[in-house]
Amino acid sequence: MVFLIGLASFTQISEARACSCMKLTPAEGLSSSYAVFTGEVTNIEPNTATKFGGLEITLRVNKVWKGEIGEQVKVRTAGSSAACGYSFVKGETYLVYADRDEADPMRVSLCSRTALVASAQEDLDFLGNPSQELDDAAARRKSKDGEARRRDNCSASPGPAGRTGLGWVLLFFAGATLAIRRVA
């Protein structure tokens, strides 16, 4: 019985880890990032490009301070805040500090200074004028279904597929076994 409970908790261990980061100044964030830009989230979907999963976020870029960024960019982040994943919300505009490595062409985490533009005034003051401004007026027009769009503004953080279900099943069987032993 103890073995089953231990096994059930072991299947959840990846979700129990917490993200721990050193707080960066705007200057440190800029110098340690591959790209710094503002953009509106247009799509959030599961990242199928790597075995680690997570999310792939598509942003329509407004302003660029660092990096070679087009009008649209895709960044990746872990699927949960416990793994340092950043929770983006569709329709919101962010100041993004993105890293780059072999596995992820553009990666964002809780450890970067990425934030909603509305909450990033200190960074915007430090960054000053952008090196590039992209203005696509047609893409920025308000849609007729603005109310439906507001309802769709939800953060997406799917957990790892298949892992949590096994833990719950094992926990259920452990509880059922205990209940049967009490009755008998």
pLDDT digits over 36-61, tens only? 999 999 999 998 877 778 999 999 99
Q: How many CA atoms lie within 13 A of 157 on its CB side?
A: 13
Domains, the chain, ranges and CATH?
A: 19-159 (2.40.50.120)
pLDDT digits over 90-146, tens only? 999 999 999 998 777 899 999 999 999 999 999 999 999 999 998 754 334 333 333
- Residue 150 burial (CB count, 10 A): 9
Q: Which helix (H) or strand (E) holds 41?
A: strand 35-46
For residue 110, which amino acid is it? Answer: L
Separation of alpha carbons 141 and 124, rounded Å = 24
pTM of whole model > 0.85?
Answer: no
- What percent of the chain has a predicted confidence (pLDDT) above 90? 49
- For residues 15 and 45, the answer to whether their CB atoms sit within 8 Å is no
Q: Is 176 helix (H, G, I), strand (E, B) or coil?
A: helix
